[in-house]
Chain A
Amino acid sequence: MKIKVAGETKEVKDGLTLTELIENEQVENPEYVTVSINEEFLERAQIAETVLKEGDDIEFLYFMGGGR
């Protein structure tokens, strides 16, 4: 199936899980990454249970914050 990852179309196996995609993409420090699929932000607990579908548009965003 085809999905879009960070704006780039990719061919991946059917039934790919989000966890597998994070591993495949070698996302650095994934525990600090926010994931959106089709512009909907996922809760952290949803990441482990998400199976991707044809046409999904996935973005990995680093939490950006700090303090004085």
Chain B
Amino acid sequence: MKVTIKKEDYEKLLEHAKSERPNEACGLVAGKDVDGERHIEKVYLLTNIDHTNEHFTIDPKEQLASIKDMRKEGLTPLGNWHSHPESPSRPSEEDKRLANDSRASYLILSLEDSENPVLNAFHIEGSDGEKTVRKEELIIV
């Protein structure tokens, strides 16, 4: 799977993630899914109701409002994103356990090295204990 994100949207994620430190930041991504290529056209910066540097939970009310906004704008929900303020850009065991939508792309923005942030996208599928993770090709355009 190839996923593209506009530079300005990447910068929105980065700025928000930095402003939320030390806590994890999170949100949703939406756009178009064309012939197996996903083009992110809008990013949603949502509230992490856990307010910690160890976990995130997207505010379900904001999640619902975002889904409705996507429909209004003719966009497809493509997945979610969250930051790892102090760890690498890869799904943690908890990320894998709580990734239950195999249609979603899971974007993880690492600020572990704040001078060199890393954004990756992953596909996660399967049931508890048998999750498989595949890194997607993410291109900032």
Contacts and interface: CB of A to CB of B under 8 A. Distances in A.
Interface of A: 7, 28-29, 32-34, 36, 39, 41, 59, 61-68
Interface stretch (B8-16, B31-39, B81-89, B133-141): B81-89
Contacts of A32: 98, 100
B92 A66 contact: yes
Contacts, number: 70
Interface size class of B (residues with CB under 8 A): 20 to 34
B127 A41 contact: no
B40 interface: no
A68 B87 contact: yes
B35 to A, nearest CB: 23
Interface string B91-110: 11011001111101000000
